[in-house]
Amino acid sequence: MEINGGEAMNGYADLVRELKSLRKGRGVLAGRIGDRVGPSLRATCGVAEGDAPGAIRRKVSDRLSELAGRLPADLRLATLAAFAIDDEARLPLYQDRVYWAAVRMDRDPRTVRRRVDEAINHLAELAVDVPRSRPDGLPGGWRTTELHAVLTLDRPRPEVIERHRVVADRDGLRELALTPPLPLDGPDLDVRVLYGGTLVDRATRTLALPSPVDGGRSHDFAIRFRPPVADASRSYFVHVPQHPVDLLDLRVRFGGTSTPPRVWVLHGAHRHDGADPAGHGHRHPVDQAGEIHLRFRHLTPGLAYGVRWEVPG
């Protein structure tokens, strides 16, 4: 269904008004959250009639986090603080969250309030211009609440083990499409399910769940990836999620070498021609065991999160 200009403007104005109302008090943690989320925000976040308060909070938080991921870093932080989405900003009063953001942005609270207003306007524009959708084209699907990944490079053949916890957005979720990390996603990739499902289509890497999962319920599974030996020389490792991810916990073991590699962290980087991640990132130390440990929160679908490295010659 197409939306004409007048309808879009009305939807934008209504959404701005509802977002400014929601940021008051405890934000997404407000009591009687169902009464605080208006019709435009419900439509934007996929909130259904009869959703429990916990489901409403989750859907609103996830959608606002997804949209905020498309904004500059300062506006993204302002959004996560204003609505009490960030774990560290779950303070009871809006003015407390503004002060929290002001400290982290090194700005005065008045500037942060302007940033919040600017962010809300952008969020409403994005919500009108970018409809809520999923890669599989279905109304809903799933999101990943936790992804724990370990890459080991100190053996003849690199290995990646991933533990996933996903939550269904709709009843009757039966299959998931796996997205291997880059640069491992090749035709010769060795994929093995350790628990939590059955790989029914290796071409599309479709994981069949042991039993259907209803909306709001979680499911755990684990996967092992082993790339061809020829790919062992690649010097980057990133996840490019195709659906929302709340937390990526990443460990990389380079091993106990005499000279540790130089490592850069990539947080929301773009990719060149769909392959190598763009952007230099920032340096990260390697510990005495030859390991690094990183955590990424509220990942934006389509962007790259991980590391690249260079071993000194």
Helix, strand, coil content of the chain in percent (nearest 5): 30, 30, 40
Query: Are 52 and 124 in a shared domain?
Result: yes
The pLDDT tens digits for 136-160 are 333 347 888 899 999 998 887 889 9
Residue 27 pLDDT greater than 80, yes or no: yes
Tell whether 196 and 119 lie within a shared domain.
no
pLDDT in tens, 190-228: 899 999 999 987 777 889 999 998 877 889 999 999 887
Same domain for 110 and 185?
Answer: no
Residues 172 and 292 in one domain: yes
In total, how many domains does the chain have?
Answer: 2
Domain residues for 72? 5-129
Structure tokens at 172: 């009757």
For 102-146, the pLDDT digits (tens) are 999 999 999 999 999 999 998 988 887 654 444 433 334 788 889
Same domain for 96 and 172: no
The answer to whether position 202 is within a domain reads yes
The reported pLDDT for the residue numbered 146 is: 92
Residue 50 lies in a domain: yes
Same domain, 151 and 300: yes
pTM: 0.57
Nearest to residue 40, comparing CAs of 78, 3, 77?
A: 3
Which residues are 176's β-sheet partners?
A: 207
Answer whether residue 134 is part of any domain. no
73-82 helix and 53-68 helix, angle to the nearest 10 degrees: 170
What region, left, alpha or beta, does residue 206 occupy, with left being phi > 0 and alpha being psi -120 to 50 degrees?
A: beta
Q: Give which of 238, 295, 257, 306 is closest to 153, Cα–Cα.
A: 257
Is the same domain home to 95 and 234?
A: no
Pair 227, 295 in one domain = yes
Q: With bands split at pLDDT 50, 70 and 90, how would you rate the model's confidence at 6?
A: very low
Both 76 and 107 in a single domain? Answer: yes
What CATH number should be reported for the domain holding residue 294?
A: 2.60.40
On whether both 18 and 147 belong to a single domain, the answer is no
The backbone torsions φ and ψ at residue 172, rounded to the nearest 5 degrees and listed phi first, read 80, 25
Answer whether 284's CB lies under 8 Å from 260's CB: no
Residue 95 lies in a domain: yes
Residues 49 and 21 in one domain: yes
Does residue 171 share a domain with residue 54? no
